[in-house]
Amino acid sequence: MRTNGDCGLVGEPVGLIAGWGEFPVMVARALRALGHSVVCVGIEGHADASLSSVCNRFEVLGLTRLGGHIRYLKRHGIQRATMAGKIQKRLIFERGFLWRHIPDWTCVRTFFPHFVRGKRDRKDDSLLLAVVDAYAQHGISLLPATDFAPELLVSAGHLAGPPLKAWQQRDVEFGWVLAKEMGRLDVGQSVAVKGQAVLAVEAVEGTDLCIRRAGELCPSGGFTVVKVAKPQQDMRFDVPTIGVGTLDSMLAAGANVLAVEADKTIFINRDAIVSLAESRRITIVAME
């Protein structure tokens, strides 16, 4: 039988757990191009409605219906799946979250040590690895989305905008060390710096709000955003991702340099990102 290398048998159904943004749509299209049928669970309040026309099967289910996600994929013969798209973690800290998103038994059992007993922390990696384990216990292996769409990973080089000035290069290097340390601690992937001073560090709010907060704290603008993979990055989830929305946030905040990690950062619609950066003189570099 013909295979797609590490991507499995041609025609094999592959599951897609879709969060927010355009990334899941691009992964679904890549899977279809490889000859796979796509069975998609769209996270309620996150997934793009266009997935219903891109995927062979599509069902919207609540964030905390983990057992429902697994049963739906199993019912359609899924043994391999991938996660794509952002989950808004800050939702879990909203008042009345559990009343609006009542978890099923699988979800309760999976996250009981994190949210009830307090025996395990609620870092991103901790929670997402718990999800990976839950799928594995039911015979579904979760694979990196970039296995199916490696072309979305950006290569090293100067991608757009004016060349870095010497002081901007120093800020990139300064921010890189900080961002890697924040990643090692599993706090966040992005930092905003200017003049080798830290303006903002990403935490639960996400990159866009981190950038906008930096703009509020530095109204003169002209600062640098550095976004990197964690030293312990698991490519199955939470891979650094840049889209046009990232540049929109930079423009609104006054940032003019974006540095990312080559071969471990996903660019959603790269041509549009580069075009916008060139037109607005935002420098984008991918560093090794």
Go through the domains of the chain in sequence order and give each one's CATH number.
5-147 (3.40.50.20), 153-287 (3.40.140.80)
What is the average pLDDT across 30-41? 97
pLDDT tens digits, one per residue of 97-119: 777 888 999 999 999 988 777 88
Q: Report the chain's mean pLDDT, rounded to a whole number.
A: 93
Q: Where are the alpha helices (DSSP H) in the chain?
A: 23-33, 51-54, 66-75, 97-100, 105-115, 124-137, 166-184, 207-217, 244-253, 270-279
- Residue 131: which of 81, 202, 60 has the closest Cα? 81
**Quick one: pLDDT band at residue 2, thresholds 50, 70, 90?**
very low
The 8-class DSSP code of residue 230 comes to -
Distance of CA 117 to the CA centre of its chain: 28
